[in-house]
Chain A
Amino acid sequence: MKKSIYTLCVVFLLSLLAAAADPAKPPQQERTPDGEAAYKTNCTRCHNTPPSLTERQTRVVVSHMRVRANLTASDAKAILRYLAENARSK
């Protein structure tokens, strides 16, 4: 039982390591998703309309939602870019 737990932990950590630390072969998740598509895929699952934010506010809110909604880093980045482009100036 203990060995199984350790094995699972090691496999999990090694898989994360392998996925994250191989710059020579970017995995598929390195794609740059379309911002509007990423917004519609993720944000509109719970939210109807984006609040009117400045770009600076948008950065913080997207960071908050990355944690709360378990967004991938690439999706969060694309959403940020999309919302920043449409942010109100201030």
Chain B
Amino acid sequence: MYSNHVVLTRQRPISPSNGARATEGKFESAMNLRNKLHLLLTLLVAVSMVAQNPTPTGTPNLEDKEKGIAPIPVLTGGIALNSSFDSKEAALLPVVAPIILVPLGKHALIESEFEAESEVVHTEGAWEPVTLEKGVEYAQLDLFLNKYMTLVAGRYATPFNFYKERLDARWIRNLSAEPLIFGVEDNSSNGGMLRGAVPMGSSVQWTYAGFFSALTNNLYVGADRQTGVRTGLFFPKPRFEAAFSFSRRLGEVKFNSYGADFTWNVRRIPLDVRSEALISEAAGDGYWVEAAYRLSSPRFNKFFRRSQAVLRGEQYFGPRVAMDTGLEMPEGDASRIFSGWNYWITDNVRAGVAFGRQFGSNDDHNVWTLGISYRFVR
């Protein structure tokens, strides 16, 4: 009904003034976009309805004998205490990030993460006022539409490159310091997202995530108006994934960001290689490459078998167009190299130390980081 009304409105013969014509042009453009979105959404829902197999295909569905075991809500998350030291300041960064997962039947899941991070900084011989950043990282409803598509609604981590979605958790990341280009993906979106993975034969999987976010001005669940997509190919045998990301900010400041990432988890040796790149006129350009080697070989003693060596190199080049993007990016060009060591005290408790040297357009300095993280599941 709504679409018909729009079509009729567009066909009404009128002869407006130039200003009115321009206004109507914008209106028609907006209506066209809405029509397209309605059409796309209708098609997607129709496909998902048709594509449902007669037998349930959601993750929780196993053999008949297992169907009686219902999933239960899970409380998980992590606690971490990181510290950073350089020539100018020392900082303590305690973080707590509880995650709650609530299953709704077999085809839906509610998941939410709240993160509170404090920053205690000592600089120029004095302690600065303690700051506390807190917010909802995600609070989303996942609907498993079919084997290949999941509809995500609510607040979710923006799928641009992979660090935010997969490595941001303190008990997962290899180095406590985020990459220099992380600011462009360190945000959450409020809206909808379609994502999934489609096997294309036995040797490659196509992964995708497309999203739209609405502007939200709120201290805890703020978000920019933006849209974007991340799509890639994953090769299970060599455990290699390469993906491309695109996002367009649609708020008062409009700009595009392009990202590329790859991960290679070598099978023959316990070596993980990860990398991300960013190209954006307004946010800047940059890349990082990280290699992590787990010394799990039997020839090492117990201490080393619980250890991991990490090396990361990265560069960032400031924006080519001066815009107030609101992103937390480095001030000016910067290059940095980090080497780190992680040690698992238990399977859930990990300690890490890292040393880095940063070369900036203003100064060069060393950075030491020391931290411990704890992952819990209840």
**A contact set with B: CB distance below 8 Å:** 5, 9, 13, 16-17, 19-21, 23, 27-29, 31, 41-42, 44-49, 51-53, 55-57, 59-64, 66-77, 80-81, 84
Contacts and interface: CB of A to CB of B under 8 A. Distances in A.
A55 B348 CA distance: 19
Contacts of A60: 71-74, 101-103, 109
A40 to B, nearest CB: 9
Given A31-B202, A45-B263, A72-B205, A57 B172 contact: no
20 contacts: A16-B47, A20-B50, A20-B146, A20-B148, A28-B201, A28-B202, A29-B200, A48-B347, A52-B347, A56-B69, A62-B59, A64-B111, A67-B109, A67-B150, A72-B147, A73-B58, A73-B148, A77-B59, A77-B61, A84-B66
A17 B50 contact: yes
Interface of B: 36, 40, 43-44, 47, 50-51, 53-54, 57-62, 66, 69-74, 76, 101-103, 109, 111, 142, 144, 146-150, 152, 165-167, 172, 195-202, 205, 207-209, 234, 236, 239, 263, 265, 272, 294, 344, 347-348, 375, 377
Q: Per DSSP, are chain A's interface residues mostly helix, strand or loop, or mixed?
A: helix
B101 A61 contact: yes
A39 B289 CA distance: 25
Given A49-B347, A60-B101, A20 B72 contact: no
Given A20-B47, A60-B103, A63-B60, 10 more contacts: A16-B51, A16-B148, A17-B47, A28-B202, A48-B294, A61-B377, A63-B103, A69-B166, A71-B197, A73-B59
Contact of A13 (B44, B109, B147): B44
Contacts of B142: 63, 67
Contacts, number: 146
Given A46-B166, A63-B59, A73 B377 contact: no
B57 A73 contact: yes
A4 to B, nearest CB: 13
A45 B265 contact: yes
B25 to A, nearest CB: 16
Contact of B344 (A21, A29, A48): A48
B267 to A, nearest CB: 9
Contacts of B263: 45
B74 A21 contact: no
Contacts of B197: 70-72, 75
Nearest to B103: A60
A81 B62 contact: yes
Contacts of A53: 377
Contacts of A66: 59, 144, 150
Contacts of B205: 72
B202 A80 contact: no
A51 B59 contact: no
B44 A47 contact: no
Contact of B347 (A13, A51, A80): A51
Contacts of A75: 197
Given A51-B377, A73-B59, A77-B61, A19 B47 contact: no
A36 B60 CA distance: 17
Contacts of A64: 101, 109, 111
A28 B200 CA distance: 8
A71 to B, nearest CB: 6
B195 A67 contact: yes
Contacts of B62: 77, 80-81, 84
